[in-house]
């Protein structure tokens, strides 16, 4: 079957998740821990409380008819009856109860799919140009490589314990239809003297501190792909910011280190991994059709044929099915899957423009697909532009959403369909809409982009969008759209369709050409026509978003789910410990002191264990992990204090003192760690080679003695003989730290000055 290999731990993961759900519903597991467990498994809470979305990993957008049938049935049984295609080629089922998410997870495994990694700080779905294997000007078909890399990545533990999400994208040519330039790791297919491989870019991304990727390698061959991807992931895993999620994406680490240092660290990590045979995955033969020499099929609707059907080199056909808002009724998707079963497994792609792309359709099947689409309302003389409008889910379901993008896009569709002839010839304009500045709709790279925001007039809030134009991405070059101004949500659909009409009436061959030839001025004029926003007394409709029953408000905007992980528990536990200690200090406790002390101790030990990347509900295991991981860091009294958790009861001034002191040290220890929380010394998955390990820390700006305290913590987590390289400031740090390190028995193997700071390499005893 054309799919990826499920994680070996998936059944154990689901078993643990099922137990956690039961404990959560019975009140045994707190909401923040439940969130930290479910989100990395691809389960998000929606805006409406106690309803959930399951995001299913569809590697490269490839899904078989049998899999689509099963997912459709799950949406009908447990969800809203709709399926949603995302901008990263995932499938989402919405409006699922927390109890039913367990059954959905189990059923997905049976058909070879999983939601693990659909959210959280994980390796997310690996995407690729949707027409890979069927594009006339692609370098080569790397479809099996994407599936194999997905299998390798999701079977490695560290892929699910990263500082923040890690997005990998492949493009089959320089047009960058896979959006490789705006991904953490972007790869362009390339041939070098007949050798197949990739041009590699890193540190791209949209949202906070948007930036295009930078060239890391001009060329790597196919067999070097696995170790290169894993090396970049390992650098991120070890050195990424785990304290501040707003600076946790790979691009922040890249900019902090600089390209030269980042590349050298990737090269060091590559020595840990062996090359893997990906070359043999690439075949030279395609499926050949009986009608290889025939022309395009004769279909009743030639307009549909011209717009959405293309003949492949192998004599078969591909068909684009534009979806509105990326949605398709689950019953329709199920029937589509049944109609495709006789055409083979390799027939369905999901595009990152939220459409369905059918491939390898035989001559006779083209008419059958057309009849099906007309019967199900998926084609009604649909203009091409319908499939070019990309939008996130917005405030209808997303907790961070400001504007209801779905309602606005629905109105855009209505306006376009009311004048189909006007929009009929628009093919090459990309419209991207995000419900907030977070760029899930990729508004920065649209020919026309919008992102939602809240505006105010006379004390009343109304939904609004910032308008952007001129964005695009191509290999080696990405330009983010520039802001043109603001438009009310009420007027946004009318503004957009007026701009599209103006473009359609011009003689320009592309939207960028249109912008250069007076389009910018025209857009400014159209925007000014819609600039007036009446007060709520004049026209209350401006203060309602599209599809909303209530006046617009920002009060229900919540915290995002995307970055949730068990590491979030640390801050929660620290706050809880502080509050409980205040109650004890004031004598305001409402239950026996022993219970408060037990809670403080349990959370303190949990903090230490979480900082090593572990989580367990077993107190016995918790104590064992704590003592094993910290035997070289904490003193005997601190280690033995944890064993109080195993006693039936405890009391006494000495016991209370020990518990409170350990809780104080938990905070001190946490603050002493640098931004990567000590993960720089951790082992990474998939490591094969036994080369000398070099860990790196930058302690410039850290004064004595805290710099030595941190180095001591780093060394404690390393193996004998491993090397720790640290950067230290000139003056007291370089004068004091080497002596302190040597007094602990470690060896200084290199000490050299670089500009106004020092590099110190320490070999652990």
Contact 328, 83 (CB under 8 A): yes
> Can you read off the two tokens belonging to residue 589?
């406790």
Cα(167)–Cα(645) distance, rounded to whole angstroms? 41
3-state SS assignment for residue 161: coil
> Please, what's the largest Cα pairwise distance for the chain?
91
Contact 593, 584 (CB under 8 A): yes
Q: What count of other Cβ atoms lies within 10 Å of the Cβ of residue 640? A: 12
> Can you read off the two tokens belonging to residue 389?
């409008």
Closest C-alpha among 45, 24, 18, 35 to residue 106: 18
Q: What is the DSSP string of 55-105?
A: EEB-GGGB--HHHHHHHHHHHHHHS-SEEEE-TTS-EEEEEE-HHHHHHHH
Q: What count of other Cβ atoms lies within 10 Å of the Cβ of residue 321? A: 21
DSSP E strand boundaries for 535-618: none
Closest C-alpha among 574, 594, 573 to residue 584: 594
Cα(682)–Cα(628) distance, rounded to whole angstroms? 15
Cα(466)–Cα(564) distance, rounded to whole angstroms? 28
Contact 523, 448 (CB under 8 A): no
Cα(630)–Cα(637) distance, rounded to whole angstroms? 12
Q: Which residues does 583 contact at the CB level (< 8 Å), separation at least 6?
A: 589, 596
* 392 is known as an active-site residue: no
Annotated catalytic residue, options 111, 135, 403, 704: 704
Q: Which residues does 405 contact at the CB level (< 8 Å), separation at least 6?
A: 391, 392, 393, 394, 395, 396, 433, 434, 435, 441, 452
Cα(622)–Cα(511) distance, rounded to whole angstroms? 60
Contact 527, 487 (CB under 8 A): yes
Cα(210)–Cα(203) distance, rounded to whole angstroms? 10
Closest C-alpha among 564, 492, 482, 489 to residue 210: 482
Q: Which residues does 222 contact at the CB level (< 8 Å), separation at least 6?
A: 145, 196, 197, 198, 278, 279, 281, 282
Catalytic (active-site) positions: 704
């Amino acid at each position: 079957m054309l799919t990826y290999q499920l994680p070996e731990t998936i059944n154990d993961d689901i078993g643990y998740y099922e137990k956690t759900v039961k404990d959560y519903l019975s009140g045994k597991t707190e909401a923040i821990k439940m969130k930290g467990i479910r989100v990395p498994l691809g389960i998000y809470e929606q805006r409406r409380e106690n309803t959930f979305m399951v995001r299913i990993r569809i590697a490269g957008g490839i899904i078989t008819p049998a899999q689509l049938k099963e997912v459709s049935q799950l949406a009908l049984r447990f969800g809203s009856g709709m399926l949603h295609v995302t901008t990263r080629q995932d499938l989402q089922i919405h409006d699922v109860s927390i109890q039913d998410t367990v059954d959905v997870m189990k059923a997905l495994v049976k058909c070879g799919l999983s939601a693990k990694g659909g959210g959280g700080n994980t390796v997310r779905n690996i995407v690729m140009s949707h027409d890979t294997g069927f594009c006339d000007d692609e370098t080569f078909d790397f479809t099996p490589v994407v599936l194999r890399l997905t299998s390798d990545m999701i079977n490695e533990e560290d892929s699910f314990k990263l500082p923040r999400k890690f997005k990998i994208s492949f493009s089959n040519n320089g047009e960058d239809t896979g959006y490789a330039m705006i991904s953490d790791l972007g790869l362009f297919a390339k041939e070098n003297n007949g050798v197949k491989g990739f041009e590699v870019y890193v540190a791209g991304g949209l949202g906070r501190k948007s930036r295009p990727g930078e060239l890391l390698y001009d060329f790597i061959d196919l067999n070097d792909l696995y170790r290169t991807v894993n090396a970049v992931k390992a650098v991120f895993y070890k050195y990424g910011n785990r304290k501040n999620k707003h600076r946790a994406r790979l691009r922040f680490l890249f900019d902090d280190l600089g390209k030269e240092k980042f590349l050298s660290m990737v090269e060091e990590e590559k020595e840990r991994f062996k090359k893997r045979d990906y070359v043999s995955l690439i075949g030279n033969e395609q499926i050949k059709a009986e009608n290889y020499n025939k022309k395009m099929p004769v279909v009743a609707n030639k307009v549909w044929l011209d717009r959405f059907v293309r003949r492949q080199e192998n004599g078969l056909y591909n068909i684009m099915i534009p979806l509105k808002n990326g949605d398709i009724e689950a019953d329709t998707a199920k029937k589509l899957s049944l109609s495709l079963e006789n055409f083979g497994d390799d027939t369905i792609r999901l595009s990152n423009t939220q459409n369905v792309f059918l491939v390898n359709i035989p001559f006779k099947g083209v008419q059958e697909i057309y009849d099906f689409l007309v019967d199900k309302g998926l084609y009604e003389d649909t203009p091409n532009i319908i499939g070019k409008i990309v939008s996130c889910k917005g405030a209808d379901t997303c907790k961070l959403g400001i504007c209801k993008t779905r309602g606005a896009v629905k109105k855009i569709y209505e306006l376009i369909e009311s004048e189909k002839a006007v929009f009929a010839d628009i093919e090459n304009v990309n419209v991207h809409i995000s419900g907030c500045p977070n760029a899930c709709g990729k508004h920065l790279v649209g020919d026309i982009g919008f992102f939602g925001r809240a505006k105010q007039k006379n004390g009343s809030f109304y939904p609004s969008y910032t308008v952007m134009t001129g964005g695009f991405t191509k290999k080696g070059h990405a330009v983010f759209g520039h802001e043109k101004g603001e438009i009310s949500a009420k007027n946004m659909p009318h503004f957009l369709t007026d701009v599209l009409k103006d473009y359609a009436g011009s003689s320009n061959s592309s939207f960028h050409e249109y912008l250069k030839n007076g389009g910018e001025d025209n857009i400014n004029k159209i925007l000014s026509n819609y600039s007036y926003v009446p007060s709520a007394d004049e026209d209350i409709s401006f203060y309602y978003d599209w599809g909303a029953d209530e006046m617009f408000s920002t009060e229900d905007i919540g915290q995002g789910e995307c970055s949730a992980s068990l590491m979030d528990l640390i801050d929660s536990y620290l706050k809880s410990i502080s509050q409980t200690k205040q109650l004890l200090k004031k004598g305001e406790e409402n239950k026996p002191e022993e219970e408060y002390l037990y809670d403080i101790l349990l959370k303190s030990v949990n903090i230490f264990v979480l900082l090593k990347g572990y989580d367990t509900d077993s107190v016995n295991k918790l104590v064992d992990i704590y003592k094993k991981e910290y035997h070289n860091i904490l003193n005997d009294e601190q280690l033995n204090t944890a064993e109080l958790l195993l006693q039936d009861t405890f009391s006494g001034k000495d016991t209370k003192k020990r518990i409170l002191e350990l809780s104080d040290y938990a905070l001190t220890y946490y603050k002493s760690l640098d931004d990567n929380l000590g993960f720089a010394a951790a082992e990474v998955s998939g490591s094969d080679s036994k080369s000398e390990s070099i860990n790196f820390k930058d302690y410039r700006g850290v004064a004595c003695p805290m710099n030595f305290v941190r180095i001591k913590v780093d060394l404690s987590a390393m193996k004998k003989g491993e090397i720790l390289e640290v950067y230290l400031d000139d003056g007291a740090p370089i004068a004091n730290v080497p002596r302190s390190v040597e007094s602990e028995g470690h060896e200084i193997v290199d000490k050299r000055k670089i500009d106004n700071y020092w590099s110190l390499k320490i070999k652990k005893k």
